[in-house]
Structure 1
Amino acid sequence: MLSRSSRPRRAGRRTLALLLAPLAALPAVALPAVGPAAPASAVTYGTTVRSPVKTAPWALSLWRGARSTGPVRFLCTATAVAPQVVVTAAHCVQQKGFFYVEVGAGRLGAGKRVPVEAVTDHPRYRSERFRYDIAVLRPLLPLALPSYATAGTASLARSVKAGRQPSLGLYGWGLDERERLGRLRSATLRTAPDTVVDAFGRAFDERSMIAAGRPLPSGRYAGGCNGDSGGPLVVGQGGTRYLVGVTSFGAEGCDQDLPTVFTSVGDYAHWLSTASSALPRQARTANRALPVPTTKPTVRGDAVVGGTVTCDPGVWTANATRVTATWFRGQARLEAGASHQVVPQDAGATLRCVVRATSQAGAATRVARVSVPPAAARPA
């Protein structure tokens, strides 16, 4: 690719948009249940990834909930580069609330959502709408994926921009050209020529961005759409997938007449390394995730009148700063503490031990139950 630095830049002639999912149009699912996914796809003019868990386990969906309880909504796409390092676009994490990455999904909403406990976006993103569009997240639990993408280097970024990488792979969970949602899609792209990139005008920064697409006979482009934001543009070398781009913006609408623009990961290699290294400290000082039990609360003991039952609160994630147990009979609160002596009033009832774990982000509860048999009938 020839350098654009010596040519005057034209103002953009298209309406450009960050490829963020339009939340009002996408399905909400209540925590912790998983809602049904629509019969759908993603990435414009791409192909469905038949087995995402095997083919691209590192291509994750990013979800957000406004409150600690209630529905969560699909938001963006993201890329796992380590068990507790996930890369996405900065514009995907500007809202307050609780973030989750979904792993092991064959369809959107059908996998396991892991809370995110720390988020760092590039400090200069807020001052410029399209530049510095990169962020890094720390899941609360290690993801334990079969494989991870590898963050691209500065030299690989130069190679991509120069057009020396003929095959670039885009992955995304967002909308397709018919605005359908639900399946991971991929498309093979190539670096866009200068004459096309000029249409982006001043929004495009050749020093830190990559423009790529696959031109079609119709004049449209295979590329990203809403919900693909933050997703991976990768280069395959041997068995390794190198993350060279983070999906950022493109022409407004899914039936695109321009290629997609990606944040060039290699040009942010130093920032990405530094920000990733700082995530554990950030998780300790400003944790953003609700605690999660790694083993569920259980009840043991003699659930008969005169016996004693004890509530084992289970094991919770390290961000839990306090764990308490309280006993209930129906809606009646009995006492706080792990143990409860079964009294005649408990006969025939189900006792509940409500375990409450608190982190800096708020509190989560889990319930363990035990039934007390009815009292034996007295002889007449």
Structure 2
Amino acid sequence: MHMNGEAEVPLAQVLQMLENDKTAYVEKGESMYYGLKDPTPVGMYDNIFYATAEQDDLIQLNEYAYRIQLEQDVADVRELTEQLCGLLTKKENAEEPTADLALSTEESETRQLTMTAEGNGAYTLRFSTSSYRLDEEKLCQFLQTLSGFVSVQQEVWGVSLKENNIAPIWNYQDSFGICCVTLKEGATLTPEDFAPDFDVEIKQNENGTYAVIPKEFFNTQQRYQLLRKISLMLEDEEKFNQANASYTVNASYGVNESALNTAAESDGSIQLMGRGDCDGSKELDSSDVFELLQHTANVGAGNEGTLTGKELLAADIDGNGSVDSTDLFELLRYCAEKGAGLQPTWTELLG
């Protein structure tokens, strides 16, 4: 994405990195920027606040786009669009997600949902995060049922709020503190757990959570650093259940409204999933065969499978909801034909 005129990694890649970084403090919510609500599933939130060793920021997400690649154009674009719209969940006051809405040719700056056919089997579903949600796992599961499915990429647009004086909330009169922590039964949290890096006090709230409260004023960067410290502490699974923070606008400085209304460019897509791409390399070769073989061998021996997440979905090549020797056979056929200089298609292989 672009922030302050400098090219950076795609926002989608930042979100993906945070999902995989256990040491990053990450909070996700649906509110605007005055406080986070309960965490929501991956790909189904409007805002993301994070603090890592290298960077920290608060991103207000504006828009998602899913670029779907099939081997050839579908016979009925409207039917495909209706199926994709059926995976969307609309938010309050949003229009019903229908093919008529998504395929409308009416020009409007406020359109919240569009489906575009680019030709050669390429389709893009684009929607506003203020109006719709999409469960990415369900999207991948659906696409695997299409015999000609090749891959799907994700693009994200958002606004960086870091330069707009928005940070974890706390002041001298607020006993909520920078962060609230929930502990395991019998566990304790004391100021000594934060020394010598931070001078804080710990207060137990009525609901049983523990508020971490700085004894002196913390600037924005110090608040981020404290959350980073808490993130590392959360690795102790025997002691901690979870932690959450709220953030707010620093009224003393105000917010740059023009910045909030300008969507940052995503600066590129990331691959969400490709059929048969069991190792996440974006290429189908012997490495994918090995990963799938290892997984099916472990499952066949009564052990836990080695594939998880999107790689496991990608391994369900025939889209029947299970990963087994049939999927391995189809992947072997694909890679063998490709290795022989042929141009295999999933439509031909799967029928």
- Is the TM value for this pair above 0.5? no
Q: Which has the higher contact order (CA 8 A, sep 6+)?
A: 2
Q: Which has the larger strand fraction?
A: 1
Structure with greater proportional helix content: 2
Q: What is the TM-score of this pair, normalised by structure 1?
A: 0.21
Larger radius of gyration: 1
User: So what's the TM-score if we normalise by structure 2?
Assistant: 0.22
